Amino acid sequence: MKNLYKSLLASIFAVSTVVAQQTPASAQSETITINGATAHIGNGQVIENSVVVFKDGKITYIGTQAQNVGGKMIDAKGKHVYPGFIVPNASLGLSEIDAVRPTRDFDELGELIPHVKAKIAYNAESKVVESMRPNGVLLGQITPRGGTISGTSSVMQFDAWNWEDAVVKADDGIHLNWPSSFTFGRWWLGEDPGAKPDKKYAENVGAIKDFMHQAKAYLKGGQSEKNLPYEAVKGLYDGTQKLFVHAGGKKEIVDAVNFAANEGIKMVLVHGNQAHLVADLLVKNKVPVVLDRSHRNPNMDDEDVRLAYKMAKILIDKDVMVTIGMEGQMERMNTRNIPFYAGTYAAYGVPKEKAVEMITLNAAKVLGIDADYGSLETGKSATLFISEGDALDMRTNIISHAFIQGREVSLETHQTKLWKRYMGKYHGK
């Protein structure tokens, strides 16, 4: 037994001596070739026994022909190479410890605050962020929470000195929490805690429409004084930003899609618990869905106990474009489990490569970074990782190398350091 741990430890330390811990990697200096891995392209395709070459941060070759380009060779026979996983609708780096208020930077005061920007508070040195990399999660859309219009998100990569350094796409989207047509009783005032139709739903929706119409009028010009919130939604009307509407119910989704269509705004649906009931409308309006994690309980006792697991398949079968986001209970620390949410969606009907696509190319498309990220294609950023096996399965998601923009990033974390320290304590080095 003891020997087993010793050999295990030896391998751990062998890896850790190669890579500096948690210091952002410097720019790619030499050409790197990964030989022999099964390459999961990210677009549904697989290349067995592949050759992947990247230089100056860009993929220069992917295929099956041996490449003699010098530089560093990584023998990955029997292993798997994936594009870095991408998480839309994440709030990583905006809070370090949920219960400690001073660390919470994701929810600003105010109802309609598109001018508030997530990138500003993003903590590039977060211990939670660094814990993403050993699971292959390398990029995310950092998103504020709360209010009606929560603010503006940015797409960040997870190996950076500071937020400016981390930005992949600044201010990519505005996040709108669509009002619920249900209201919950306030139990602390002795009300029935159940949900009942909200009589103020139309009024609440109206407030959003008013805001947007006012902004639109303002943006036509002629105003001498600046209005920051109105300025902040400019990208929605000129097509450079997307509106991420967070909505779950059928009614809310239909209202939101119709609203965005009328305004000529590019919309992405976030959550979409009942998106399967209005899939045609989503397809017609080209609205993709950022599904929640598959590891959810049903909303109702009556619901198929595995409905959440099956949701991706149901939507994909109806031709809806699907990716997976991360919002809700313990969302930050659980973001590293994104591959396994995709895996569970695969267990319940999504073909495995489609499941990979959900958290790679589809995510990149939804975030508007697919020209550079999301798949292993020539010319794209060398943001990828090597796994011992199927990266969607906990047993085999064991990452040996990860690259962001060609830079080999550290797979060490606060957590691996503690692991090694205490294994060393009990079993010697």
Partner 1 sequence: MLTLGLLIQFNQPMKQKLLVLGFLLSCLTVFSQDYFPKNDGVKTTNNNYTAFTNAKIYVTPTQIIENGTLLIQNGKVVNAGASVSIPQNATVVNLEGKQIYPSFIDIYSGFGIAKPKRASGGGRSAQYNGSREGYYWNDHIMPEAHGVSSFKFDSKKAGELVKAGFGAVNTHLEDGIMRGTSMLVTLNDKDGDETRILDQDAANHLSFRKSVASRQSYPTSIMGGMALIRQVYHDSKWYANGNSDTKDRSLEAVAKNKNLPQIIDAGSAANALRADKIANEFGMNFIIKGGGDEYADIAAIKRTNASFIVPIKFPAAYDVSDPYAASMVELSQMKHWNHAPTNPGVLAKNGVQFALTTADLKSTKDFKSNLMKAIKHGLDETKALEALTTVPARLLGKSNMIGSLNKGSIANFLITSGDIFNKKTTLHENWVQGNKNVINNMNVKDIRGDYDLKIVGNTYSLKLSGELSKLKSEVKKDTVKMASKVTYKDGWLNLFYIPFDEKEERFVRLTAAIGDSDNLSGNGTLASGSLTNWSATKTADKEDDKSGKDGKDGVDGKNGGKGGKGGKAGSTADKDPVLMPLTYPNNAFGFKTNPKAENLLFKNATVWTNEAEGIMESADVLVKNGRIAQVGKDLSDPSAKVIDATGKHLTSGVIDEHSHIAAASINEAGHNNSAEVTIEDVIEANDIGIYRNLSGGVTTIQILHGSANPIGGRSAILKLKWGEDADGLLFKGAPKYIKFALGENVKQSNWNSFSRFPQTRMGVEQVFVDNFTRAREYEAKWKAYNGLSKKAKARAKAPRYDIEMETMVEILNKERFISCHSYVQSEINMLMKVAEQFDFKIQTFTHILEGYKVADKMKEHGVGGSTFSDWWAYKYEVNDAIPYNGAIMHSAGVVTAFNSDDAEMSRRLNQEAAKAIKYGGLSEEEAWKFVTLNPAKLLQIDDKVGSIKVGKHADLVLWSDHPMSIYAKAEKTIIEGVTYFDSARDEQLNKDILKERNMLINMMLKAKNSGMKTQPPKKKVKEDFHCDTVEQF
Residues that bind partner 1 (CB under 8 A): 5, 8, 96-100, 127-128, 181-182, 184, 187-188, 190, 192-197, 249-251, 295-298, 300-302, 304-306, 330, 332-333, 336-337, 340, 343-344, 346-348, 392-398, 414-416, 418-419, 422-423, 425-427
Q: Between residues 58 and 414, which has the closer beta carbon with respect to partner 1?
A: 414
CB of residue 414 to partner 1, shortest distance in Å = 8
- What are residue 156's DSSP bridge partners? 140, 167
User: What is the distance between the alpha carbons of residues 246 and 273, in angstroms, rounded to a whole number?
Assistant: 10
CB of residue 364 to partner 1, shortest distance in Å = 23
Cβ atoms of residues 95 and 106 within 8 Å: yes
User: What is the distance between the alpha carbons of residues 159 and 402, in angstroms, rounded to a whole number?
Assistant: 10
Q: Phi first, then psi: what are they for 327, rounded to 5°?
A: -140, 145
Residues 421, 423, 426: CA angle, nearest 5 degrees: 110
Q: Between residues 234 and 414, which has the closer beta carbon with respect to partner 1?
A: 414
CB of residue 207 to partner 1, shortest distance in Å = 21
Q: Between residues 266 and 336, which has the closer beta carbon with respect to partner 1?
A: 336
CB of residue 217 to partner 1, shortest distance in Å = 33
CB of residue 80 to partner 1, shortest distance in Å = 14
CB of residue 397 to partner 1, shortest distance in Å = 6
CB of residue 255 to partner 1, shortest distance in Å = 11
CA distances from 413 to 38, 65, 103, 268, 382 (A): 27, 36, 19, 33, 22
CB of residue 340 to partner 1, shortest distance in Å = 6
Q: Between residues 228 and 418, which has the closer beta carbon with respect to partner 1?
A: 418
Q: Between residues 127 and 318, which has the closer beta carbon with respect to partner 1?
A: 127
User: What is the distance between the alpha carbons of residues 261 and 377, in angstroms, rounded to a whole number?
Assistant: 33
Rounded (10°) angle between helices 201-219 and 250-263: 20
Q: Between residues 30 and 192, which has the closer beta carbon with respect to partner 1?
A: 192
Q: Between residues 332 and 407, which has the closer beta carbon with respect to partner 1?
A: 332
Closest CA to 140 of 196, 91, 179: 91
CB of residue 411 to partner 1, shortest distance in Å = 13
Q: Between residues 143 and 181, which has the closer beta carbon with respect to partner 1?
A: 181
Q: Between residues 150 and 337, which has the closer beta carbon with respect to partner 1?
A: 337
Q: Between residues 242 and 336, which has the closer beta carbon with respect to partner 1?
A: 336
CB of residue 102 to partner 1, shortest distance in Å = 11
